[in-house]
Structure 1
Amino acid sequence: MSTAMAPGAVAGAGVAPEARRVPVSRVYRFEVVKLVSQWRIRLLMLACWTLPGLFVAAVAQQGTLPSDTLFGRWMHATGWAGPLVVLGFSGSWALPLLTSVVAGDVFAAEDRLGTWRHLLVMVRSPRRIFVAKALASGTVIVLLVAGLVGASTVGGLAAVGNRPLVGVDGHPLSPSDAAGSVLPAWGCALAPTLALAAIGLLGSVILGRSPMGLLVPALAAVAMQLAQTLPLPVALRLALPGYAFVSWNGLFASPVQLDELLISIVVSLVWVVVATAAAYLLFVRRDFTNGNEDGVGRRALVFGVLPPAGLLALTFVAIAVATPSTGSGISQAKVQQSVATVFAHLYRLQTEQLHRPAVTEAQLQVTAECERGDGQVDPVGPGNDWRCVVTWHLPGTAAPGTAIYQLDVASDGRLTADGDGPKEVNGYFLVHTPTGDAPNPLWQFDGQVELLSSATNLASRANYANSTNSTKG
């Protein structure tokens, strides 16, 4: 007796149904949960959401301030200085550490635990695994950065208050303007942070189960920091993805200095794309059936070393061709203009403290004469041997006022001016006001030389700022 068979039964016999791949969104949620479940990630999350606020509040109560950090000398004056000090520290140390712990180990951990087979059986797509892991690590890093921003801002405002901030060129920013610049500054710093995270993904894929992948973003950040201290051409400085950790201070100038900031952000985002693409190509070509292979092979040189090196060379050439930036970018005219601009703004602030008649920058007519090494060294480039004589005029007086400053100009364009007399102007760290002693804004101050701008452009910016402040005055 024969058994009736349904049509197509023979054709389908012995053929397994097609495996259904898990959606990227589900794998992404799984990877986020897996990352957040790690004790070290939880500790980092707790630290980022609490320690910056406690640090800012504690420093604001101290008698000494981190004056060697940009905006550090203003931490007693406004709560908006705190998140900027934390940003300066984070760009050098905290953010590279976070990217190392999160992105530098996201693939290597699977090799050490031997869980690739289980993950591939569940997801059935190396491409989806890579996308999910990359997105998950980026999400965790963004949450950590958000904690740094929120905690430092809340701590500063709670400890000092919502008060005006003095910009990098000495001009005052209202609390609302300060808030509108602090948050974009942190947003700009997120671009090089993601670039370091992409480098961490690449290192994690290349080095496999080796814990050395954790060090790749940190070592890259240290190398870029060392490079920024060297007298490199401006084009090479901007070609490094970490320069956005420095160029955000252009948001606190008047008018805003965007040239270097925009270039550094674009460069960082290009590094994100190139490093992530290289890591992706290495990962999807890996032989997961071989338990002895953990990512290191011949393709590591092709996809892991050559793309970043080629990108660095291409961006250097492109920036050098597009902008006149083959030198240090620091000239005598730029230093003089920067010192004169900051002094004029801060002189008005000191005038308000002493309750003297108000003056404008146009009335002061501030000029600066700067030289290096007592005139024995060409007045160009970075160095701590700059000396400036500042001259200004007060309405109704015939004799001009003069003040002397010793300058330390860094390779990235930041300058620190130390007052050298006269005592009643900049020779002492306090001024005697009708309401008591107050910090002297002219004793020491910071400034910024715009590396890409010409002296003519800087002069036009200063004239624009002076006319604006004169109108306000």
Structure 2
Amino acid sequence: MTTPLTDAPAAGAGAALKPRTAGRRPVPVVRILRMELVKQFSAWRVRLLVLLCWLGPGLLVFAIDQQNTLPSDTLFGRWMHATGWAGPLVVLGVAGTWALPLVTSVVAGDVFACEDRLGTWRHLIIAVRSHRRIFAAKAIASVAVIGLLVAGLAVSSMLGGLLAEGNQPLIGLDGHLLTGEDAAVKIPLAWVCVLAPTLALAAIGLLGSVALGRSPMGLLLPVIAALGMQTAQMLPLPVTVRLALPSYAFISWNGLFTDPQQLGPLLIGIGVSLVWAVVATALACLLFLRRDFTNLNNDGAGRRALTLGVLPLAGVLAATVGAVAVGTGAGGSGITQDKVQRSVATVFSHLYPSQQAQMHQPAVTAAQLQTTAACDKSEGLGAQAGPGNDWRCTVSWNVPGYNVTAQAIYQVDVTPTGRYIADGDGPVQVNGYFLIINAGKPTPNPLWQFDGNVDLISDH
């Protein structure tokens, strides 16, 4: 039988302790927080993470910039030789997949379980005399450490990129050029945006640490949850389900780098992540306050981990799916023929002037080109919507000064999240692979391959 915990001393503390603790106020949260931070940074795992997060990304970005081969399959990876601002975005994409789930597991997933392994709950409760303050201090300490690690990833990657390639303009996700000043604002903002899904994973870690006690599954829960949601993002799910998962906020930050910005999916992803963070933290607090610390054999694991852990979060998912469906009116995959055509034409119209400038041709503007794109999926067979690597687009544009219309063909691979890669398929003079000497450095033809993004909830 479990006993609800209050701010009074634990019942198992013994009658002999009552005269010593009666009338004494609980320890202030600030003092408990200071103690929890000391405990966090005394762990070798956290110290190693601090070192890796503040040094690793910068060294990695600098090393990649010295190579001839770039991670072109990673968003913004193909531009790492062109500007130092591409590096932190590459790190951000990788961090959302691997680094941030690992950080939340090590920090938040172990903050309560470590007390179970060491058997120190009785001593801590008697010393602090407030279960709510213990929970608050541990949760705040975990968030503070995670924030420090995320800041290290961001700062280190930006410094590494700028030292390697300098403050050059960045080509956005729709091909338009961002000045160094614009990039200096949007890239830190993108890192701030991923704090929301990171907090959601941290809250899941707190819940697992409380509910599963000394079980290693509590430590692994944020990683397992992140991998599960990332796998779901790769599946052809309805757009309402996709946006209702906190993991979409690890992807939707790329909407900051289009013009106009695709803020709808980003704001929804942040809102959903914060809802998950609040609910999971509240559930963890409820489980912690209901736990019976007088039973040394009870580490918190049990049936209530399911009833007060998994089931409420499943309810949150169902509620957010409904809210997204009602609020956006979106349906299906969110990827339509018209959206793909507009996006490909927009990116091409922005990159073509850049290519002409690098080749020292007469200056042209996107408005002069009047670019259009005609795209079909599976050679026009079946539904002309949805993700797949069987999209084929024919881009047409006016050649300024010649009064003729030129065309280029692209094979387009559209992922379920809306991101796509367009691969040039001729003519070779336009979108074939060749090197352009730009500022004394050979760079690939920008029209050979390019990235783009389809706004899943926009109607235009």
| TM-score, length of structure 1 as denominator length | 0.92
- For the pair shown, the structure with the greater C-alpha radius of gyration is 1
Judged with a 3 Å threshold, the aligned counterparts in structure 2 of structure 1 residues 302 and 434 are, in CA distance, closer, same or farther, namely: closer
Shift of 1:436: 7.1
2:174 maps to which residue?
169
Judged with a 3 Å threshold, the aligned counterparts in structure 2 of structure 1 residues 36 and 398 are, in CA distance, closer, same or farther, namely: same
1:131 maps to which residue?
136
Alpha-carbon distance between aligned partners in 1 of 2:327 and 2:57, rounded to the nearest angstrom: 39
Query: Would you say 1:412 and 2:426 are equivalent positions?
Result: no
Query: Would you say 1:205 and 2:239 are equivalent positions?
Result: no
Letter in 2 for 1:302: T
Shift of 1:356: 1.6
Query: Would you say 1:374 and 2:385 are equivalent positions?
Result: no
Shift of 1:395: 2.2
Judged with a 3 Å threshold, the aligned counterparts in structure 2 of structure 1 residues 145 and 432 are, in CA distance, closer, same or farther, namely: closer
Alpha-carbon distance between aligned partners in 1 of 2:371 and 2:452, rounded to the nearest angstrom: 15
Query: Would you say 1:392 and 2:397 are equivalent positions?
Result: yes
Q: What percentage of aligned pairs have identical amino acids? A: 66
Alignment counterpart, residue 283 of structure 1, candidates 282, 285, 288: 288
User: Unaligned stretches of 5+ in structure 1?
Assistant: 1-13, 458-473
Shift of 1:362: 1.5
Shift of 1:394: 1.8
1:29 maps to which residue?
34
Judged with a 3 Å threshold, the aligned counterparts in structure 2 of structure 1 residues 432 and 401 are, in CA distance, closer, same or farther, namely: farther
Judged with a 3 Å threshold, the aligned counterparts in structure 2 of structure 1 residues 27 and 388 are, in CA distance, closer, same or farther, namely: same
Pairs within 5 Å for 1:25-424: 25-424=30-429
Alpha-carbon distance between aligned partners in 2 of 1:15 and 1:381, rounded to the nearest angstrom: 70
Alpha-carbon distance between aligned partners in 1 of 2:329 and 2:380, rounded to the nearest angstrom: 26
* Contact 2:212 2:299 (8 Å CA) reproduced: yes
* Alignment deviations for residues 2-36 of structure 1 (CA, whole Å, 9 cap, x no partner): xxxxxxxxxxxx96651221001110110011001
Please state whether the residue corresponding to 1:401 is helix, strand or coil: strand
Please state whether the residue corresponding to 1:418 is helix, strand or coil: strand
* Alignment deviations for residues 408-432 of structure 1 (CA, whole Å, 9 cap, x no partner): 0000000100011111111114236
Alignment counterpart, residue 450 of structure 2, candidates 442, 445, 449: 445
Please state whether the residue corresponding to 1:242 is helix, strand or coil: helix
Letter in 2 for 1:77: A
* Contact 1:354 1:434 (8 Å CA) reproduced: no
Higher RCO (CA < 8 A, seq sep 6+): 2
Judged with a 3 Å threshold, the aligned counterparts in structure 2 of structure 1 residues 22 and 423 are, in CA distance, closer, same or farther, namely: same
Shift of 1:306: 1.7
Alpha-carbon distance between aligned partners in 1 of 2:438 and 2:125, rounded to the nearest angstrom: 72
1:460 maps to which residue?
none
Shift of 1:376: 2.0
Letter in 1 for 2:371: V
| TM-score, length of structure 2 as denominator length | 0.94
Please state whether the residue corresponding to 1:288 is helix, strand or coil: coil
Alpha-carbon distance between aligned partners in 2 of 1:262 and 1:54, rounded to the nearest angstrom: 32
Judged with a 3 Å threshold, the aligned counterparts in structure 2 of structure 1 residues 245 and 353 are, in CA distance, closer, same or farther, namely: same
Please state whether the residue corresponding to 1:103 is helix, strand or coil: helix
Judged with a 3 Å threshold, the aligned counterparts in structure 2 of structure 1 residues 422 and 433 are, in CA distance, closer, same or farther, namely: farther
**Would you say how many aligned residue pairs link Structure 1 and Structure 2?**
442
Alpha-carbon distance between aligned partners in 1 of 2:97 and 2:278, rounded to the nearest angstrom: 22
Alpha-carbon distance between aligned partners in 2 of 1:52 and 1:181, rounded to the nearest angstrom: 19
1:7 maps to which residue?
none
Judged with a 3 Å threshold, the aligned counterparts in structure 2 of structure 1 residues 436 and 57 are, in CA distance, closer, same or farther, namely: closer
* Contact 2:432 2:445 (8 Å CA) reproduced: no
* Alignment deviations for residues 305-340 of structure 1 (CA, whole Å, 9 cap, x no partner): 121010000000111111122210000000000000
Letter in 2 for 1:383: G
Shift of 1:108: 0.7
Please state whether the residue corresponding to 1:101 is helix, strand or coil: helix
Please state whether the residue corresponding to 1:425 is helix, strand or coil: helix
Please state whether the residue corresponding to 1:347 is helix, strand or coil: helix
* Contact 2:264 2:457 (8 Å CA) reproduced: yes
Alpha-carbon distance between aligned partners in 1 of 2:235 and 2:382, rounded to the nearest angstrom: 18
Alpha-carbon distance between aligned partners in 1 of 2:167 and 2:436, rounded to the nearest angstrom: 23
Shift of 1:360: 1.5
Alpha-carbon distance between aligned partners in 2 of 1:344 and 1:323, rounded to the nearest angstrom: 29
Please state whether the residue corresponding to 1:344 is helix, strand or coil: helix
Alpha-carbon distance between aligned partners in 1 of 2:364 and 2:180, rounded to the nearest angstrom: 23
Alpha-carbon distance between aligned partners in 1 of 2:131 and 2:274, rounded to the nearest angstrom: 24
Alpha-carbon distance between aligned partners in 1 of 2:44 and 2:441, rounded to the nearest angstrom: 51
1:18 maps to which residue?
23
2:6 maps to which residue?
none
Alpha-carbon distance between aligned partners in 2 of 1:133 and 1:125, rounded to the nearest angstrom: 12
Judged with a 3 Å threshold, the aligned counterparts in structure 2 of structure 1 residues 391 and 138 are, in CA distance, closer, same or farther, namely: same
Alpha-carbon distance between aligned partners in 1 of 2:339 and 2:302, rounded to the nearest angstrom: 50
